[in-house]
């Protein structure tokens, strides 16, 4: 929303004032309200009944959404209009899964053809490796381990999905992810794996990312040594996924082993493309296509459901409410599933890299808060770490609590305990415990202890329940958040598809590196604080 337009805080101030008088205990008791705030899309149930909203506030938010021409904006994205204006690019991650959609795709036919051809290639490669036939494609005779090297969007999506879908993984290959430039990670891998049977997938849209190329070089050197310096043999161990085919080729990956990325797919939206190669290798072509199908079903829902039942729209409106109207600066993501342990990091990039902007595409200040800080970790572990502060601390942190109805394992006793904890936390945060209740529970402690055993409650959370954690439901879950992000970009009037904010640190790191190494360079002089720390590092270096 450009600066000359009223902020959401001012637009909805009356609703916030009215609701400040009503505790969530009262709001939750209204069954009709609950029914309007619980909606299903395929395998996902979204329960927003513990958000600090009543129907009047929700309808006012919805009216604002309707007035924003969100459907036209959504359709423009699906059709491939260049909505990423600062880079003059289309935003077509939805086209990557359009083949599984039950609605006609408005994406350009050329893009859809390239996407389908790439999916075919992925399928052939995966089937060959799973069938032990990869030597015919010029790859090593035996492949036991796949190492995905990439960072950000070239790591987080496949990493999340490979972990989440562990029960669907083939035993034929093991998956590894190498991302940070911290040499410890690369060193650990090369001391564990057999270079002769390792296949490396270098994933980098730009093929210029420092971390990825450094790690790629380490693994290249390791395999080269094992191959007695035979460059042709080394090349058999590398696949690449990149929009920069030329540089990937000159780096040493044979052209036939390079899979395309496109400028119409942003890194953090790219799991559905060949960036998901490691996932396809882990769960097979059918599984990978099922992830796409889950995403496509969420696309269909997003394109067809009225906002009142539209999961991404409702999530976006709740975020506007919590962030802009109630002013909460952070949001916690707590999956009650070890398999979804990487979801908070994944959503951090998806949401914070997309929406961490304060200027509109017209170069004007946004004029109101945008993305909250997204953080979190798995429940129940989180309960034993920071939930104390969430219940009784001075900050209110809205939570997304994510649970799975049917586990992939037979230990139902554990699973019931896990789910009961999720439900209990949502209830405790919302209901709280009054001082009177605390006193009645433990009269001997008197009012002093009762005050300390009081829970204010009135703390909001959303619950997302997946029927089961499958390729389809994971695809739907990721697409749900993608569309929420899209809508928030639209509602805040910012471009959710560029990331200029990552550039400055990268370029300063390039300037610092020679100084750290004590090399001569013609970069501009570094600031005094940085020079002092470089000096301190030099002093103590052994
Ligand atoms: O795929 P690449 O080009 O290596 O980029 C990796 C990541 O780096 C970023 O550009 C941020 O630095 C992300 O947007 C991207 O996902």
- Pocket test of ligand 1: the residue of 205, 271, 273 to mutate, having most ligand atoms within 8 Å of its CB, is 205
pLDDT tens track for 315-347: 999 999 999 999 999 999 999 999 999 999 999
Share of the chain above pLDDT 70, in %: 99
CA of 507 to the centre of ligand 1 (A): 14
Reduce the DSSP state of residue 405 to 3 states and report it.
strand
Residue 453's pLDDT band, with cuts at 50, 70 and 90, is very high
Model pLDDT, residue 1: 47
Cα three-residue angle 164-169-174, rounded to 5 degrees: 105
Identify which has the larger pLDDT, 522 or 174: 174
Cα–Cα distance for residue pair 523/151, rounded to 1 Å? 26
Ligand 1 atom with least separation from CA of 209: 4
The count of C-alpha atoms lying within 13 angstroms of the C-alpha of 153, restricted to the half-sphere facing its C-beta, is 29
CA of 453 to the centre of ligand 1 (A): 47
Ligand 1 contact, 97 CB (< 6 A): no
The token pair at 233 is: 């043999």
Average of pLDDT values for 439-452? 97
The token pair at 332 is: 């916690």
Q: Rounded to the nearest 10 degrees, what angle do helices 503-516 and 528-540 cross at?
A: 40
**Would you say residue 381 has pLDDT above 90?**
yes
**Would you say residue 2 has pLDDT above 60?**
no
Name the closest-CA residue to atom 8, ligand 1.
Answer: 152
Ligand 1 contact, 352 CB (< 6 A): no
Classify residue 353 by its DSSP letter: I
Ligand 1 atom with least separation from CA of 153: 16
Model pLDDT, residue 538: 94
Q: For 176, list phi and psi in degrees, rounded to 5.
A: -135, 150
Reduce the DSSP state of residue 39 to 3 states and report it.
strand
Model pLDDT, residue 135: 97
Ligand 1 contact, 312 CB (< 6 A): no
The count of C-alpha atoms lying within 13 angstroms of the C-alpha of 175, restricted to the half-sphere facing its C-beta, is 25
- Pocket test of ligand 1: the residue of 499, 503, 505 to mutate, having most ligand atoms within 8 Å of its CB, is 499
**Would you say residue 3 has pLDDT above 80?**
no
State which fold the 27-67+305-493 domain adopts. Answer: Rossmann fold (3.40.50)
Ligand 1 contact, 206 CB (< 6 A): yes
Average of pLDDT values for 195-205? 98
The token pair at 117 is: 């051809």
Ligand 1 atom with least separation from CA of 261: 1
Ligand 1 contact, 499 CB (< 6 A): yes
State which fold the 93-286 domain adopts. Answer: Rossmann fold (3.40.50)
Ligand 1 atom with least separation from CA of 154: 1
Name the closest-CA residue to atom 9, ligand 1.
Answer: 152
Rg value, the chain, Cα: 25
CA 74 distance to own-chain centroid? 20
Q: Which residues contact 399 (CB under 8 A, 6 or more apart)?
A: 331, 332, 333, 334, 376, 390, 425, 426, 429, 460, 461, 462
Ligand 1 contact, 215 CB (< 6 A): no
The residues that are catalytic are 353, 384, 506
Residue 96: Cβ within 10 Å count = 28
Model pLDDT, residue 520: 79
Model pLDDT, residue 4: 59
> Does the complex come out with an ipTM higher than 0.95?
yes
* Contact (CB, 8 A) for 273 and 118: yes
pLDDT tens track for 110-153: 999 999 999 999 999 999 999 999 999 999 999 999 999 999 99
Ligand 1 contact, 502 CB (< 6 A): yes
Q: What is the pTM of this model?
A: 0.97
**Would you say residue 32 has pLDDT above 50?**
yes
Name the closest-CA residue to atom 11, ligand 1.
Answer: 502
Ligand 1 contact, 242 CB (< 6 A): no
CA of 369 to the centre of ligand 1 (A): 25
The token pair at 291 is: 């992830």
Classify residue 14 by its DSSP letter: H
């Amino acid at each position: 929303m450009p600066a000359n337009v009223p902020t959401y805080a001012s637009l909805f101030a009356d609703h916030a004032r009215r609701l400040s008088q009503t505790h969530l205990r009262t709001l939750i008791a209204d069954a009709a309200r609950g029914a309007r705030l619980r909606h299903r899309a395929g395998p996902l149930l979204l329960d927003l009944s513990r958000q600090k909203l009543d129907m009047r506030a929700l309808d006012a938010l919805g009216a604002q959404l309707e007035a924003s021409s969100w459907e036209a904006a959504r359709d423009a994205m699906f059709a491939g209009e260049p909505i990423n204006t600062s880079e003059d690019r289309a935003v077509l991650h939805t086209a990557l899964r359009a083949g599984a959609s039950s609605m006609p795709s408005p994406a350009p036919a050329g893009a859809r053809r390239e996407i389908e051809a790439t999916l075919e290639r992925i399928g052939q490669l995966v089937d060959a490796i799973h069938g032990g036939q990869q030597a015919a494609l010029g790859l090593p005779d035996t492949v036991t381990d796949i190492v995905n090297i990439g960072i950000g969007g070239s790591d987080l999506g496949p990493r999340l999905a490979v972990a989440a879908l562990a029960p669907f993984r083939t035993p034929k290959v093991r998956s590894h992810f190498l991302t940070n430039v911290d040499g410890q990670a690369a060193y650990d891998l090369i001391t564990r794996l057999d270079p002769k049977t390792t296949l490396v997938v270098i994933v980098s849209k730009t093929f210029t990312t420092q971390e990825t190329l450094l790690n790629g070089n380490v693994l290249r050197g390791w395999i080269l040594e094992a191959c007695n310096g035979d460059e042709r043999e080394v090349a058999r161990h590398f696949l690449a996924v990149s929009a920069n085919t030329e540089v990937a080729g000159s780096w040493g990956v044979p052209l036939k082993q390079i899979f395309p990325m496109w400028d119409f797919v942003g890194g953090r939206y790219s799991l559905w493309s060949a960036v998901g190669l490691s996932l396809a290798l882990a769960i097979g072509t059918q599984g990978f296509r099922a992830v796409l199908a889950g995403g496509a079903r969420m696309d269909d829902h997003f394109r067809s459901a009225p906002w009142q039942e539209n999961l991404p729209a409702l999530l976006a409106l709740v975020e506007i409410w919590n962030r802009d109207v109630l002013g909460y600066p952070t949001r916690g993501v707590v999956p009650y599933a070890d398999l979804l342990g990487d979801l908070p990091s994944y959503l951090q990039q998806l949401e914070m890299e997309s929406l961490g902007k304060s200027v509109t595409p017209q170069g004007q200040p946004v004029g109101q808060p945008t993305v909250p800080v997204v953080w979190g970790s798995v429940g129940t572990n989180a309960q034993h770490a920071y939930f104390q502060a969430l219940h009784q601390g001075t900050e209110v942190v809205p939570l997304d609590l994510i649970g799975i109805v049917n586990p992939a394992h037979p230990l139902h006793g554990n699973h019931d305990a896990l789910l009961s904890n999720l439900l209990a936390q949502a209830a405790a945060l919302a209901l709280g415990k009054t001082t009177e209740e605390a006193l009645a529970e433990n009269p001997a402690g008197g009012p002093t202890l009762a005050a300390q055993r009081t829970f204010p409650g009135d703390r909001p959370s959303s619950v997302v329940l997946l029927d089961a954690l499958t390729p389809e439901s994971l695809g739907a879950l990721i697409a749900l958040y993608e569309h929420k992000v899209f809508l928030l970009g639209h509602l805040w009037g910012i471009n959710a598809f560029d990331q200029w904010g990552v550039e400055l640190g990268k370029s300063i790191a390039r300037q610092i590196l020679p100084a750290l190494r004590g090399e001569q360079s013609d970069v501009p002089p570094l600031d005094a604080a940085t020079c002092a720390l470089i000096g301190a590092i030099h002093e103590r270096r052994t």
